[in-house]
Structure 1
Amino acid sequence: MVAGRGAELLRSATSSRRATFLELFFDLAFVVALTRVSQRFADLGSDTGWTLVAGLGRTLLLFLALWLIWSHTAWITSRYEPERSIIQAVVIGTMFAALVMAVTLPRAMEERALPFTVAYLMVMVVRPLVIAAALRGHPRRLVPFRLAAWAAVAAPLWLVGALGPDQLRLPLWAAALAVDYLAWALGWPLPWLGAAAVGRWRIAGEHLAERYQQMFLIALGESISIIAIVFSGMAYSAERAAAFVVAFATSALLWRIYFHRAGLLLTEALGRAGMPGQLGATSQRTHALIVFSVLVTAVGYELVIDDPFGPPRPTWLLFVVGGPVLFLAARVRLEYEIFGRLPWSRMIGLVVLLLVTPALVRWPPMVGLSVVAGVLALVALLDAWRSRRRPLEDSASPIGRETPGSHGPEA
């Protein structure tokens, strides 16, 4: 009887696998957040040396903090019933905290560090305690308790970093974020309780896959928004118009390459997995790379549209070429997760981009963006050639094939 208390909060087999309107509403806060991340990257366009490296590190850290918040929320609505009032309240509260993080993000490493930190810790520490209380006597209440305990361990690092000297903020926050990510990877182990291995979690795999796909589309939409805003805010020229067209084509190619086969079958793969938590956790890391790569690529659009045939700036290649390189690498990883193979078309694209990058240092930014678009078009054509006259294959993921009972009880 005790185990039944709070059980109504867990997803049932008959629960809808589609994302709710509340979750789509929640994503609006991350549209704002991703815009701020892109802007921080764009501000680094003229930096060099250690200043550039430090700026990239700070922005990456802020992105990873936001991604952790979004990922945890996606798992919550895949594990618990999103139509329950308490879960809806949790999502709304998380949305407000994410919005606070978004509006403070441009100066989160400077004078707005404290409100950014407080909003982050409210989600990481308070939210799991609310869920644990709502679960009442259910055995799975121990999982959110674990989350809160580990977040409390990292909290002093976040707070000291926010309140202490500016030069200590980056290393302290990096250490805190490492604790938060390590805790997830280990299953938030506690003395006498052990770990709650994410791979054994009972989640709605199809729902989680849809949430990853939606976040990718949000990032892609952010890149389209940057193209439009930058081009409309500049004096018209044929060169900028050409850069506008090539940038849009590049985003369209990213969409095509992601959803060709593996991206399209992500929902099926997670739905079929005996242990969807295993595949979901791996895919979470892959989609962090994919979303990040799209944001970096979008910064390249902004830099090129601003001055398509300006003097060569080697640091711009970090965005113009580095973003697509990271995207193809992550897409190779996704292919393995869905089919257990390495796609030769994306491997070819990856190698070509790496080989031509040294030569692009001497050419204007527009040349670099055009080469990237050409390589991505080659990858898309190779995909189409391989798939012609072949039926859509089923997913054959090597991850999460086992059933929960073969590795202990579900968490």
Structure 2
Amino acid sequence: MAPLELFFDLVFVFAIGQLAEHLLAELSWRGVAETAVMLIAVLSTWALTSFDATFLDVKQARTRRLVLVVMGLGLFMNAQIPHAFADRPWAFVIPLVAILLLTDLVAAVSAPTPFLRHHYRRVTAWAAVSVPLWLIGAAMDHGPRLAWWVVAAAVDMTGVWLAHPLPRDVLSSRELVFDADHMVERIRLFIILQLGETVLTIGTAISAAPVQAATVTTGLGVFVALVCLCASYFRGGEDILARHVASAADRLLPVRHAVSGQYSTLAGLVALAVGAELSISHPTGHGSARVGLLLFGGAILYIVTQAWWYYTSTRQAWGARIVACLACAVAGVAAVWLPPLVSVLLLDAILLTLVAVLGRVHQEVLRAMDAGDNPRPRPLAP
């Protein structure tokens, strides 16, 4: 992985703090929808540029220039997240639209093979649908803007999920020459950076709170939860991903699924960060549905995404994750009556148990892979 790509990723994980700030300031169902729309915009531009850097070879000078331009545009776009639904919609949308068009058109012209250039013409056709919706939404007042941008975001996310198909013209990823190992490393480091930015967001909340036993305990409890979320993947899980991709007949498909999962992974971390801020600021206060939804709902989004990927790829290592999600759902209901500090400690208990179980499960899956006993998953629609 080129250092430039890691540098590029830092611009996009910066959005985590911005998204959490917006959600905390607009803690309502509309605020959730607004945050989700901007999160999709951030992740879609990251995904498109990351695939471009892989397909077009980031070692090439023109590809590095493309990444740098998108990086500058992305920095400005992400800085506008708290203001996009207020007084600066154009400051958010113009760099977003520029990224969408730039990444698609450059690849459609300069991709190394006719097959890949044809694929990027399909990507450009999808952008031709979403870009006008983003622009019309920016021209609207605050109220109707959300509806236009919801549709635009849905188009962009669906395109990434489905590899931008057109009628009777669908990507056959087996025909693509693709550096899957490179993208696996990109995903690995991007997850680390997401977790790191979440730590910084929570650290800011700890800094703003008084130094009291309950506050310190809650802050440490949230930190433990993040460590557990990290360990749920990096204690063997990343090796399963790498080995599955290396042995898959279609190496692009599992990578596509992993990239698609970043939407809910990032949403889970943003929700968890906001729930943590609420808990740290009032650790011994009354329980609330908001804290339950954000703390436990955020953990569920993160964990269920992993469960989905493991199920669609290896058919293993997903059951324990689903059980943990069910436990989080029950605890989230109980959080209505529990002080936030107790809710955080309950979340820690669930996640520590999950990590202990997964440590064994991952090793069993890896041993099965080494022995050649891992069953091939049934083919899924691209």
- TM-score under structure 2 length normalisation: 0.91
1:285 aligns with 2:251: no
Equivalent residue runs for 1:234-249 within 5 Å: 234-249=209-224
From 43, 52, 67, the counterpart of 1:67: 43
Equivalent residue runs for 1:15-164 within 5 Å: 19-44=1-26, 47=27, 52-135=28-111, 138-164=114-140
Runs (5+) with no aligned partner, structure 1: 1-18
Q: Deviations over 1:149-196 (max 9, x none)?
A: 3212222111110012221111111112222233344543457x8333
From 230, 247, 252, the counterpart of 2:205: 230
> 8 Å contact 2:317–2:358 — kept in the other structure?
no
**SS of residue paired to 1:203:** coil
Q: Deviations over 1:376-398 (max 9, x none)?
A: 11111223355679964428474
From 289, 303, 306, the counterpart of 2:278: 303
**SS of residue paired to 1:394:** helix
Show the counterpart of 1:4.
none
> 8 Å contact 1:230–1:302 — kept in the other structure?
yes
> 8 Å contact 1:269–1:397 — kept in the other structure?
no
**SS of residue paired to 1:265:** helix
1:382 aligns with 2:362: no
CA distance in 1, matches of 2:64, 2:129: 27
- The higher radius of gyration belongs to 1
Looking at secondary structure, tell me which structure has more helix per residue: 2
1:215 aligns with 2:190: yes
* Larger CA deviation: 66-75 vs 138-147: 138-147
CA distance in 2, matches of 1:399, 1:117: 40
CA distance in 2, matches of 1:84, 1:138: 18
CA distance in 2, matches of 1:387, 1:139: 37
Runs (5+) with no aligned partner, structure 2: none
- TM-score under structure 1 length normalisation: 0.85
**SS of residue paired to 1:321:** helix
**SS of residue paired to 1:264:** helix
Show the counterpart of 1:355.
330
What's the Cα RMSD here? 2.5
Show the counterpart of 2:287.
312
Show the counterpart of 2:244.
269
1:321 aligns with 2:283: no
Instruction: Report how far residue 374 of structure 1 moved.
Output: 0.5
Instruction: Report how far residue 228 of structure 1 moved.
Output: 2.0
Show the counterpart of 2:309.
334
> 8 Å contact 1:328–1:346 — kept in the other structure?
yes
> 8 Å contact 1:202–1:276 — kept in the other structure?
no
Q: Deviations over 1:33-87 (max 9, x none)?
A: 121012112224xx4xxxx111101101100110001111121122221110111
**Aligned sequence identity (%):** 22
Instruction: Report how far residue 360 of structure 1 moved.
Output: 2.0
From 204, 208, 224, the counterpart of 2:179: 204
CA distance in 2, matches of 1:41, 1:260: 31
CA distance in 1, matches of 2:362, 2:315: 17
Distance 1:398 1:158, change over 3 A: farther
* Larger CA deviation: 135-144 vs 366-375: 135-144
Q: Deviations over 1:254-285 (max 9, x none)?
A: 11112233333212222222212211221222
Show the counterpart of 1:7.
none
> 8 Å contact 1:186–1:197 — kept in the other structure?
no
CA distance in 2, matches of 1:341, 1:174: 34
* Larger CA deviation: 81-90 vs 326-335: 326-335
Counterpart AA for 2:301 = L
CA distance in 2, matches of 1:111, 1:302: 26
**SS of residue paired to 2:369:** coil
Instruction: Report how far residue 218 of structure 1 moved.
Output: 1.1
CA distance in 2, matches of 1:187, 1:345: 30
